[in-house]
Amino acid sequence: MTVFTEETRARAREIIARYPADRSRSALLPLLHLVQAEEGYVSPAGVEFCAEVLGLNKAQVGAVATFYTMYKRRPTGDYLVSVCTNTMCNVLGGQEVYDTLSEHLGVGHDETTADGKITLEHAECLAACDYGPVMTVNYDFFDNVDPQTAVGVVDELRAGGRPMPTRGARLCTLKEMAVQLAGFADEREGAVADGGPGEPSLRGLRLAQQHGISVPGFDPNTPIRSKAEAEKAAAEAKARAEAEKAKAEPAAPAVQAKGGDGASAPTGVETATPEQAAGSTTRDVKAPDDTSPQVRTAQTRQPDAATAVPDAPGTKVPSDPVPPAPRDAQEAEAAGVAANPPAGDAKPAGDEAGAQERNLKEAEAGKGATGTGPAVASETGGQK
Ligand code: FES
């Protein structure tokens, strides 16, 4: 079993110190990169190390390590060659590049050459569709590759060379890259790439300029306000709008009489956004939506609801307006529940403490882990 070096342990302490004391488990992702930097993959010893320094159990660490593809569960080569075979790259020849490399190297997906130099994998979209087909070596890009150039890159790597990526930093080994992903700078000269975006990434902007397309009323020099500033400005604008509305209200009946249909005519203040009411010159710019995500979700799901506000925890829900189902339908539903006990433990997700307490109680009562299913059946049967 690997004993991690003092340097790794010191770096682990440094990573953990970056997080609030009661949030140290958030350091797990960089710590997994750190152990990968020492061993080339996340070994059982690496999982145990992370669990130990973060006070987690190995199952919790393993659940994270097996979720993300950047954490390797088997020893890798010095260079991880990832070929994008997703939609855009695929139609441009990405699969052909992958197949050629696979045949040339004699390895398949997630396999390493016998000399320990190259691990090959096919990858989902690498977020560089404008340069497809693309492949990366230790996450540095080689753009617009074809089978021949891809073979040239891996041959050079196996011969001890370090070809320059199309853009980005100089190549390093996968272990060196893992150190950077753990949050430590690459100190090599020229290791940090610079330069602006390439022409393919700017193509949309160029076309928009060429055709005079722009967002109406958008001022690129508009300062970005902090949330607190935005909330304060919105509250002030709302107060001003309400004051204006209160002043204008006595005139409303006359407007209604003129309209003749009983509907309130717009006063000009009611329909203005807070920014317009505040005299903003950028009238075409939509006001920021400060509605909470929960309220927005509720409004989307029930656009016709009078008040589409989600229930706060502990809120008493008014009685269900839907009339109760006929008795025979209730009986049919109860029979269905009895015949189909819920999968798993049927307990709500994310309630670890509650689940543990319930498991304890069930164990004390002599029930098994699947006690919920039969209990539902027997309860349902009792109702019948
Ligand atoms: S599909 Fe290959 S980078 Fe997006």
Tens of pLDDT, residue by residue over 42-64, are 999 999 999 999 999 999 999 99
Q: Are residues 61 and 107 in the same domain?
A: no
Q: Are residues 84 and 169 in the same domain?
A: yes
User: How high is the mean pLDDT of the chain?
Assistant: 76
Indicate if ligand 1 lies below 6 Å from the C-beta of 126.
yes
Q: Are residues 44 and 129 in the same domain?
A: no
Q: Are residues 93 and 20 in the same domain?
A: no
Is residue 331 domain-resident?
Answer: no
Check pLDDT > 60 for residue 204.
yes
Question: Do residues 59 and 81 touch, judged by C-beta distance below 8 A?
Answer: no
Residue numbers of the domain that contains 60: 6-65
Q: Are residues 87 and 61 in the same domain?
A: no
Q: Are residues 90 and 165 in the same domain?
A: yes
Residue that finishes a domain, picked among 173, 201, 227: 173
Is residue 219 domain-resident?
Answer: no
Is residue 90 domain-resident?
Answer: yes
Averaged pLDDT for residues 34-42: 94
Is residue 71 domain-resident?
Answer: no
Q: Are residues 89 and 139 in the same domain?
A: yes
Rounded to the nearest angstrom, the distance between the alpha carbon of 106 and the centre of ligand 1 is 24
The count of domains in the chain is 2
Is residue 10 domain-resident?
Answer: yes
Is residue 246 domain-resident?
Answer: no
Residue that finishes a domain, picked among 173, 192, 208: 173
Number of H helices, E strands in the chain: 16, 5
Rounded to the nearest angstrom, the distance between the alpha carbon of 53 and the centre of ligand 1 is 37
Does 224 or 205 have the greater pLDDT score? 205
Preceding amide of 147 cis, omega within 30: no
Q: How far is CA 46 from its chain centroid?
A: 25
Check pLDDT > 70 for residue 298.
no
Q: Are residues 10 and 59 in the same domain?
A: yes
Is residue 265 domain-resident?
Answer: no
Indicate if ligand 1 lies below 6 Å from the C-beta of 135.
no
Q: Are residues 156 and 129 in the same domain?
A: yes
Indicate if ligand 1 lies below 6 Å from the C-beta of 89.
yes
Indicate if ligand 1 lies below 6 Å from the C-beta of 337.
no
User: What are the pLDDT digits (tens) for 95-151?
Assistant: 999 999 999 999 999 999 999 999 999 999 999 999 999 999 999 999 999 999 999
Residue that finishes a domain, picked among 173, 192, 222: 173
* CATH code of 61's domain: 1.10.10
Question: Do residues 255 and 267 touch, judged by C-beta distance below 8 A?
Answer: yes
Rounded to the nearest angstrom, the distance between the alpha carbon of 349 and the centre of ligand 1 is 34
C-alpha 131/C-alpha 141 separation (Å) is 9
Q: Are residues 86 and 114 in the same domain?
A: yes
**Residue tagged 């992903």 (tokens):** 181
Q: Are residues 89 and 168 in the same domain?
A: yes
pLDDT band at 39 (very low <50, low <70, confident <90, very high): very high
Is residue 150 domain-resident?
Answer: yes
Atom of ligand 1 nearest to the CA of 86: 1
C-alpha 32/C-alpha 15 separation (Å) is 11
Pocket test for ligand 1, best of 88, 122, 124, 144 (most atoms within 8 A of CB): 88
Indicate if ligand 1 lies below 6 Å from the C-beta of 129.
yes
Indicate if ligand 1 lies below 6 Å from the C-beta of 143.
no
Query: What is the strand order of the sheet 118-123 is part of?
Result: 111-112, 118-123, 79-84, 135-137, 140-142
Indicate if ligand 1 lies below 6 Å from the C-beta of 265.
no
Indicate if ligand 1 lies below 6 Å from the C-beta of 86.
yes
C-alpha 128/C-alpha 154 separation (Å) is 20
For 157, residues 6+ apart whose C-beta sits below 8 A from its C-beta are 78, 79, 117, 118, 137, 163
Q: Are residues 83 and 61 in the same domain?
A: no
